[in-house]
Amino acid sequence: MAQDFWGRVKIANRRCIRHRRYWFTDVHARGKYPQHMLNYFERRGFELDITQDDLAALKQGCIDYISFSHYMSFATKATDNNPLLDYDESKSLVSNPYIQKSDWGLQIDPVACVIH
């Protein structure tokens, strides 16, 4: 039972991190900012300097193809005062003791690119 719970927590955490880290592809592929990021910007007090013409240009300029290269992983630490997992890379990223590091200190995770 506890394993099922922690499995669900792990999936939710990965999904949240993906939303925070890789949202920019939504802008390019869908032509708009995802609502969860607009909500995040509002919570953090960020004011976007964006016009209706800018939004129209984004909508018209969607890309046809996305490619990526996966070469390293990130891990974050949970804190009691951050239930929405709004993380700051300068403070929240931690080393994952379960994966290897390259000679340059990058964490190498051969199974990190999993889509749930």
The pLDDT tens digits for 71-93 are: 667 777 777 777 776 777 777 77
pLDDT single digits (tens) 17-62: 666 667 888 888 899 998 888 988 898 899 999 999 999 999 999 9
Long-range contacts, 24-33 (Cβ 8 Å, 24+): 25/66, 27/58, 28/62, 28/63, 28/66, 29/62, 29/63, 29/66, 30/62, 31/58, 31/59, 31/60, 31/61, 31/62, 32/58, 32/59
Decide: pTM greater than 0.75: no
